[in-house]
């Protein structure tokens, strides 16, 4: 499935409902006296069974990465954290580029996932892709990351075709005090964070922070320097304040500036140099502000109003993108009678961008403004309270290209006992075209044509491109209440139609730009279809008081086909070819005596059929020593098993992919 469109909904349902559910309970084995008193003040002490009950009642394939998981992982960026989620496919392309998806369709620009940071969508609507190098939330400020696989539009109120990644940061009052940390190692040439938070008046708090990183280059596939080193500086603030009458106000903002190298293997140009290989450096900058007002007079009644503005720019010597987004959302949650819980919301978003015409890429028109309106409604009906629920919901959206669409979901959940929970769902979801689907001209390759003239192959967007459509059936089972053992399984069957294909057109002579040449066009169309199915398993087992293991496994089968009227016989296979059929993981968390913690993760990723990438196992380890109450030391090794390995070379990538390198770093953290 192609890029999820840029849409207006940022649904506080995600926020509100997720605030209720919280991750697995704080590990019982954690030595709480080793925590600072400020950290103690932030521990959610909702009883473990209550939390798990909330989580286990969600009739969807949900996985939560907690701050504890983050701290233990030793990861230095969000993509590496996401490897923990079974069913997500995280593949690193270069030092600063990742391809991430759930349930197939992975690619650098293939994003079937909606990604939100505190309710702010971080998609770039041009390609609907996420620039992961510009997502710099300091990892210590993340409260949790929720990953919902499968179409979540109606229940989550947000626009996800194959999933949602919801990154939620801590409230400012949970981050009071100072923090300084620095790290350095074999690839990580030096990263640091300084943050400080305090009280603001009687019922408010603030946090300000600044951080930066410098990452060294990886290797090309023939073991040369990949010229993909990157650097960034980032800063931000968050203010939270409680107002009278159960009102809460949050204001947060951040700004980032950075640069990242890449090598573009072929820039198609009809005048020499044709198909030149060029090393370029992306300069990127972005800033955003977000304000949220929430009123929660009771546990069954809540109002949320949220607005944000985001401006980003990314350019290198051959291209430039400038994008502004304003988004406004309102949401209401209210009980209705004894047995129904209703959430509805309205949203509006406006995107405005400006795209430079470059040697090989142009957009028609280059300036573009699109408005998106949406509404959603969801009803949770307790047929038998605490035992059997029905969820009915739908999203209604009006967007620029294809007008009005409806995306409904029906879910049931059955909890026969406190230890078991079954759920099932059927959903319809749509992916609206990205701007490139509709209006791009992309020059692919120059080659000698007929009549001794040069020829250029170009891809054209089509204004009439239709929405890709998904029908999804899902089911899941969860077992376990205790912190000793738990198990989660989900299975899905997805049917897609109107998938994007590239249909060849008739060659024509083109006189501009000179010299005269043949144009071999292909046009974006919707002449492919297919189905995917798979299962995802995850378990938690406490082998001993100090030792926890988390095994996970995911299976995915993709069968994509051209329609009978399609002449594009390769794209469906290419899209499927970038996804591993099997993934498995095993994470081990050990608490050693004397304030030592040791975490090791092994991630197996099956081979990618096309372009071929061998299967690999990635092993990361992190040894942390709480030296003093305020000082901790960490030693991290990543990709330990092999000195180099490739993770991705998908057909959609526009730069040379790199080999991942074995690496290590040390980190010192001081709280004051």
Partner 1 sequence: MQMMSSKPAGYAVKMQSTGFVHRLCCGTIIAVLALLVLSAEKSTGAQTTEEYRVEAAFLFHFAQLVDWPPDAQKGVDNSLLLCTIGDDPFQGALEETVAGKTVGNRIIHIRHLGEPQDMQACQIVFIGKTQSKHIPMLVASLHNAPVLTVGEAANFLAAGGMIRFVLEENRVRFEINLGAAESARLKIGSRLLVLAEHVVGEGPGK
Residue 238 Cβ vs partner 1, minimum distance, rounded to whole Å: 17
Nearer to partner 1, 300 or 612 (CB): 612
CB nearer to partner 1: give 384 or 559.
Answer: 559
Q: From the CB of 45, what's the least distance to partner 1, in Å? A: 4
Q: Is residue 487 a contact point for partner 1 (CB under 8 A)?
A: yes
Q: By three-state DSSP, how is residue 624 classified? A: strand
Is residue 354 a contact point for partner 1 (CB under 8 A)?
no
Nearest distance from residue 522's CB to partner 1, in Å? 8
Q: Which of 295, 533, 642, 662 binds partner 1 (CB under 8 A)?
A: 642
Residue 573 sits at φ, ψ, to 5 deg, of -70, -35
DSSP state of 453: -
What's the min distance (Å) between Cβ of 183 and partner 1? 27
Min. distance of Cβ 1 from partner 1 in angstroms?
9
- Interface residue with partner 1 among 575, 576, 636, 660 (CB under 8 A) is 575
User: Token digits for 211?
Assistant: 């951080």
Instruction: Decide if 331 contacts 11 (C-beta within 8 A).
Output: yes
Residue 561: name the closest of 552, 569, 553 by CA.
Answer: 569
Q: What residues between 85 and 144 interact with partner 1 by CB under 8 A?
A: 107-110, 126-127, 129
- Between residues 41 and 406, which has the closer beta carbon with respect to partner 1? 41
Question: Per rule CB under 8 A, is residue 189 in the interface with partner 1?
Answer: no
Q: Which is nearer to partner 1, 88 or 213 (CB)?
A: 88
By CB under 8 A, residue 628 contacts partner 1 = no
Q: Which of residues 539-558 bind partner 1 (CB under 8 A)?
A: 539, 541, 549, 551-553
Touching partner 1, residues 378-397 (CB under 8 A): none
Where do we find the tokens 């410098």? 214
Question: Is there a contact between 206 and 200 (Cβ–Cβ < 8 Å)?
Answer: yes
Which 241-280 residues touch partner 1, going by CB under 8 A? Answer: 265-266, 268
Is 334 among the residues that bind partner 1 (CB under 8 A)?
no
Span interacting with partner 1, options 138-146, 209-217, 303-311, 610-618, rule CB under 8 A = 610-618
| 423 touches partner 1 (CB under 8 A) | no
Closest distance between partner 1 and the C-beta of residue 599, in Å? 17
Element housing 327 (H / E): strand 319-336
Q: For partner 1, which is the closer residue by CB, 296 or 381?
A: 296
CA atoms within 13 A on the CB side of 193: 22
CB nearer partner 1, residue 82 or residue 500: 500
Smallest distance from partner 1 to CB 579, Å: 13
Please list, in sequence order, all residues whose beta carbon lies within 8 angstroms of the beta carbon of residue 32, skipping any fewer than 6 positions away. Answer: 40, 43
Burial 508-527 (b: 16+ CB within 10 A, else e): eebeeeeeebbbbbbbbbbb
- End-to-end, the C-alpha distance of the chain in Å comes to 48
Instruction: Report the SS3 class of residue 79.
Output: helix
Distance CA 512, CA 509 (A): 9
Within positions 197 to 216, which residues make up the interface with partner 1, using CB under 8 A? 199
Longest dimension (CA), the chain: 81
Task: Produce one character per residue of 268-295: b if its CB has 16 or more CB atoms within 10 Å, e if not.
Answer: bbbeeeebbebebebebbbbbbbebbbe
Per CB under 8 A, contacts with partner 1 among 653-672 are: 653-654, 657
**What is the SS3 assignment for 140?**
helix
* Residues 6+ positions from 506 with CB-CB distance below 8 Å: 521
213 vs 321, which CB is nearer to partner 1?
Answer: 321
Residue 49 is a binding residue for partner 1 (CB under 8 A): yes
Question: Closest approach of Cβ 54 to partner 1, in Å?
Answer: 12
Omega within 30 of 0 (cis) for the link into 273: yes
């Amino acid at each position: 499935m192609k890029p999820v469109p840029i849409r207006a909904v940022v649904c506080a349902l995600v926020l509100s409902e997720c605030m209720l559910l919280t991750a697995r309970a704080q590990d019982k084995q954690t030595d709480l006296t080793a925590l600072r008193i400020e950290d103690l003040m932030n521990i959610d002490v909702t009883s473990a069974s209550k939390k798990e009950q909330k989580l286990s009642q969600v009739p969807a394939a949900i996985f939560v990465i907690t701050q504890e998981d983050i701290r233990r992982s030793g990861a230095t960026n969000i993509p590496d954290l996401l490897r923990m989620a079974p069913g997500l496919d995280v593949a690193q392309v270069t030092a600063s580029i990742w391809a991430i998806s759930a349930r197939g369709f992975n690619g650098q620009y293939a994003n079937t996932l909606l990604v939100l940071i505190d309710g702010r969508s971080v998609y770039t609507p041009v390609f609907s892709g996420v620039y992961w190098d510009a997502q710099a939330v300091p990892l210590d400020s993340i409260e949790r990351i929720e990953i919902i696989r499968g179409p979540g539009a109606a229940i989550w109120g947000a626009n996800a075709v194959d999933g949602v990644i919801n990154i939620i940061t801590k409230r400012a009052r949970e981050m009071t005090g100072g923090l300084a940390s620095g790290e350095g190692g074999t690839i990580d040439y030096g990263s640091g964070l300084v943050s400080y938070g305090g009280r603001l008046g009687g019922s408010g708090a603030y946090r300000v922070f600044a951080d930066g990183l410098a990452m060294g280059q990886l290797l090309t596939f023939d073991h040369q320097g990949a010229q993909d080193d990157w650097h960034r500086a980032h800063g931000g603030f968050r203010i939270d304040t409680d107002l009278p009458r159960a009102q809460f106000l949050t204001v947060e903002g951040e700004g980032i500036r950075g640069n990242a190298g890449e090598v573009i293997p072929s820039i198609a140009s009809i005048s020499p140099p044709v198909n030149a290989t060029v090393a370029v450096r992306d300069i990127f900058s972005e800033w955003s502000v977000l304000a949220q007002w929430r009123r929660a007079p009771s546990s069954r009644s809540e109002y949320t109003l949220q607005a944000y503005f985001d401006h980003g720019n990314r350019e290198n010597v051959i291209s430039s993108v400038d994008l502004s987004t304003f988004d406004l959302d309102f949401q209401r949650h209210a009980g209705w009678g004894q047995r129904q819980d209703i959430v509805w919301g309205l949203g509006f978003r406006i995107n405005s961008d400006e795209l430079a015409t470059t040697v090989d890429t142009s957009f028609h028109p280059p300036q573009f403004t699109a408005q998106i309106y949406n509404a959603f409604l969801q009803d949770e009906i307790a047929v038998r309270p605490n035992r059997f629920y029905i969820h009915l919901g739908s999203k209604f959206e009006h967007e620029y290209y294809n007008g009005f669409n409806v995306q409904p979901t029906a879910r049931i959940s059955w909890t026969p006992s406190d230890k078991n929970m079954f759920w099932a769902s059927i959903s319809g979801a749509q992916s609206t075209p990205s701007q490139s689907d509709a209006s791009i001209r992309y020059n692919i390759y120059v080659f000698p044509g007929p009549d001794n003239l040069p020829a250029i192959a170009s891809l054209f967007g089509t204004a009439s491109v239709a929405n890709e459509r998904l029908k999804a059936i899902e089911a899941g089972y969860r077992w376990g209440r205790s912190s000793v053992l738990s198990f989660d399984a989900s299975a899905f069957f997805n049917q897609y139609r109107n998938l994007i294909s590239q249909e060849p057109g008739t060659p024509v002579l083109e006189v501009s730009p000179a010299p005269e040449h043949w144009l071999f066009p292909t046009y974006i169309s919707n002449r492919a279809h297919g189905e995917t199915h798979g299962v995802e398993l995850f378990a938690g087992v406490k082998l001993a008081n100090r030792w926890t293991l988390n095994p996970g496994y995911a299976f995915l089968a993709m069968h994509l086909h051209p329609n009978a009227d399609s002449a594009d016989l390769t794209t469906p296979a290419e899209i499927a070819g970038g996804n591993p059929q099997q993934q498995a993981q095993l994470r081990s968390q050990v608490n050693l005596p004397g304030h030592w913690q040791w975490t090791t993760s092994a991630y197996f990723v099956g081979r990618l059929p096309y372009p071929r990438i061998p299967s690999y196992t990635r092993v990361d380890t992190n040894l942390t020593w709480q030296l003093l109450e305020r000082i901790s030391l960490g030693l991290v090794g990543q990709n330990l098993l092999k000195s180099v390995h490739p993770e991705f070379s998908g057909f959609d990538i526009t730069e040379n992919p790199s080999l991942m390198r074995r690496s290590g770093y040390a980190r010192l953290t001081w709280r004051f």
